[in-house]
A and B are shown apart, each in its own frame.
Chain A
């Protein structure tokens, strides 16, 4: 029991670690989604570009929105932003800090998707195979313009009947894949350098403001959790009192209607637990009253 409380307290005080955990899980889910997704380029001139770029950019938007939805802190931040001022001033620095931390975490999964897509190469190959310059590749040099578009569009489909006999499709495929992987690694390098610089250089600028903003954003989060917990505890006690009052009132009613002489101190064993309800009819009446006339929400 003590262990539960400790685990609960650990999670409460480390909401940042919980959010980092969710962020990591989403990134892993993004990789898993990509590997289980059956990429199937249409190999048709007008559709290739739309499909390839669609697969590269639509799932990241979905993952970004998911990252925002699953992050509890985004709700907390919105509430803090929209609440009336009341007795407590609003600190915009705190709201900005929370917003930037939420955005940073939500950006991880989409970036992972884009990088995995680029390193794999299928999307770029599908999207840009039709935009290749046919003069550069022997197999497509002497073909008419209309046909060359069709042929280039079929490059991503290795098993297509036209492609089986054409060796130039491998050249196009290698070329595009090379570009795609180069782009992927470059983006990864740039992002990591940016993250590294941001973390290293941050203490040089506004460290105190940062510490304050972080402290108060953590505080708002914890305060919210404790408020919810207290409300739960309160509603439990309220319900307990309400039910006790109800049973007591039923007991009073039974006493009022029965003609028994008052028996003092002669209660049978467990009589207090029985609330004076010792009969099938009385129990049925109690249950009926509970349904038809719930007691008022007033335990004063």
Chain B
């Protein structure tokens, strides 16, 4: 128990490192996904752009949403946002802090995908091969080719096997050109993202450190409180279930005693704990009856107090039991069997 608490404390105080770890794993997964993905440019004039831009922009969007889904704190944020005020005021700064921290972490995997895509170059090559400046790089004065024909020829640049426009423009030249632009865009994107991250991180202590410390404390508090509440409820449910089942077996045992016409065999005095644990069920038929009863007719979610006189189910509690008739019905059926 102490070990769990120690681990719990370690993760809590290093909650940020834990979430950073998950973030790093998602970024690695994003790179793996890209290398495992079989990029297949269609090499057709209007489809190239759609395909290239689609591969560049749709997976990041999916990864961003996935980052939100996989983050446990999103449900915490939603709960805190939507709960009625009640006796506890709501602090919008805390909500903003939680949202920003979740969004920042969710942005990392998409940014990695976009960078890797741009640095690799295949997407941009596929998307913009029809816009290559043929005048400067190739042989624009090539005769008897209409605009559409040129577009169709240029669209085949990424597919080396079927490219037939060597006289118009060498495909290596075009690919090198497009790749250079793609890689330049990629490095600029990474530089921009890194600069933004640096500014966000370093300007914060200069401006709003006290507010930040407050928001961070209370957002951690909400998280810990929720976990502790779940833990307490789980413990309560455990105790509830234990007492409920104990009362079920006791009820079973009392019914059996009542149904049998001979006095119950007294367990020998020195049987002790083992006999107690048997709860009065000591043969196969009785056990089968108990199991059938558990399946067919689960006891109500209502624990009656132990010192209840058997004839009057209403002695102690002001709240009426919800299903008082169910156990009685079972007893009645039992009598009729006898």
Q: Could you tell me which B residues sit within 8 Å of A by CB distance? A: 2-3, 6-7, 9-10, 12-13, 79, 83-84, 86-88, 119-121, 137, 170, 172-173, 176-177, 179-180, 183-184, 187-188, 190-191, 194-195, 197-198, 201-202, 205-206, 209, 217, 220-221, 224-225, 228-229, 232-233, 235-236, 238-240, 242-243, 246, 300-303, 305-307, 316-319, 322
Across the interface, do B6 and A1 meet the contact criterion of CB distance under 8 Å? yes
Cα distance A229–B15 in the bound complex, in angstroms: 11
**Closest B residue by C-beta to A280:** B301
> Is A10 an interface position by the 8 A CB rule?
no
Q: Which residues of B contact A4 (CB under 8 A)?
A: 3, 6-7, 10
> Is A135 an interface position by the 8 A CB rule?
no
Q: Which residues of B contact A296 (CB under 8 A)?
A: 87-88
Determine the interface band of chain A, counting residues with CB < 8 A from chain B: 35 or more
Q: Which residues of A contact B202 (CB under 8 A)?
A: 68, 74-75, 78
Known: A51-B184, A273-B235, A296-B87. A41 touches B176 (CB 8 A): yes
Q: Which residues of B contact A82 (CB under 8 A)?
A: 205-206, 209
**Closest B residue by C-beta to A232:** B13
Across the interface, do A40 and B83 meet the contact criterion of CB distance under 8 Å? no
Across the interface, do A44 and B137 meet the contact criterion of CB distance under 8 Å? yes
Cα distance A140–B84 in the bound complex, in angstroms: 80
* 10 extra A-B contacts, CB within 8 A, seeds A260-B305, A280-B301: A4-B6, A38-B119, A42-B176, A58-B187, A62-B187, A160-B172, A236-B228, A239-B224, A278-B303, A297-B88
Q: B-facing mask of A66-78, CB < 8 A → 1, else 0?
A: 1011000011001
Across the interface, do A270 and B242 meet the contact criterion of CB distance under 8 Å? yes
* Cβ of A215 to closest chain B Cβ, rounded Å: 23
Across the interface, do A292 and B84 meet the contact criterion of CB distance under 8 Å? yes
22 A-B contact pairs sorted by A residue (CB < 8 Å): A1-B2, A4-B10, A41-B180, A50-B184, A54-B184, A62-B187, A65-B195, A82-B205, A239-B224, A242-B225, A259-B318, A260-B317, A263-B307, A269-B246, A273-B236, A273-B238, A275-B236, A279-B322, A280-B301, A280-B302, A292-B84, A294-B87
Across the interface, do B228 and A79 meet the contact criterion of CB distance under 8 Å? no
* Cβ of A58 to closest chain B Cβ, rounded Å: 5
Known: A47-B180, A75-B205. A66 touches B194 (CB 8 A): yes
Contact of B183 among A40, A266, A268 (CB under 8 A): A40
Q: List residues of A (262-300) whose CB comes within 8 Å of B's CBs.
A: 263, 266, 268-270, 273-275, 277-283, 287, 290-297
